[in-house]
Amino acid sequence: MLIIPAIDLKGGRCVRLWQGEEDKETVYSEDPLAVARMWVKKGAQRLHIVDLDGAFRGRPVHLDIVEKIAREVDVPIEFGGGIREKAILDDVFTRGVDYAILGTRALSFDFVRDACLKFEDKIIISIDTRQDRILAEGWKKESSLKAEELVKGLVGSGVKTIIFTDITRDGTLRGVNIKLIQEFLEIADVKVIIAGGVASLADIMKLAELGGRRPAGVIIGKALYDGRVKLEEALAVGGQ
């Protein structure tokens, strides 16, 4: 199970938000590149980078920073936040990004199908939920689609990997919602990466010990930055 440190970009800095609320941020570093180097030095085998300003504005604004990180570290990068046009998607990959994350555009199966035809398994879909509702556009807009319906359409469009985020837990350090995660794993016959709520090593153990299908990875943000989880220990539990 991949253990993936999160690097959220806002105003050129590395931050964390509380439940995705734009005005509830904690700044952890003025130097995202230094943060990326730190996680890789500690053993990270992939980085999860999100352009929060891009998600709120509808197009990435931190691609220069992302390109610099991609050039400086030797692990794969998955990047999302405002990728809503084909030209932007093309640009993201020219910056050295290994996997592009589609969130809002995941609701357009035609867009997803075209992206998967061109970039195959380099496309990752982010499904963000709050109380059974699918959210988009920086978590500001609700979709009428149910998770099972969305997953079915995405798999039919060629998607191989999905990031599943419980927004009610994101940035809260409340722990992962195992019941909700298990329910999602049952309907998603693809690789699933879990995000939202990791508060301790115990949460990672719970995910690693799930019977049947278990997550392909888990994204950790606030718990790493606050020191509640040590990356080296998380990697050992995840089997890396």
Tell me which residues are annotated as active site. 8, 128
DSSP structural state of residue 98: S
Distances from the Cα of 195 to the Cα of 85, 111, 168, 199, angstroms? 25, 24, 11, 11
Contact 97, 119 (CB under 8 A): no
Contact 82, 61 (CB under 8 A): yes
From the list 36, 164, 172, 171, the residue with the least C-alpha distance to 101 is: 164
DSSP structural state of residue 107: G
Q: Which residue has the tokens 């995840």?
A: 238
From the list 197, 188, 187, 232, the residue with the least C-alpha distance to 218 is: 197
Q: Which residue has the tokens 């990356």?
A: 231
Q: Which residue has the tokens 């807009």?
A: 141
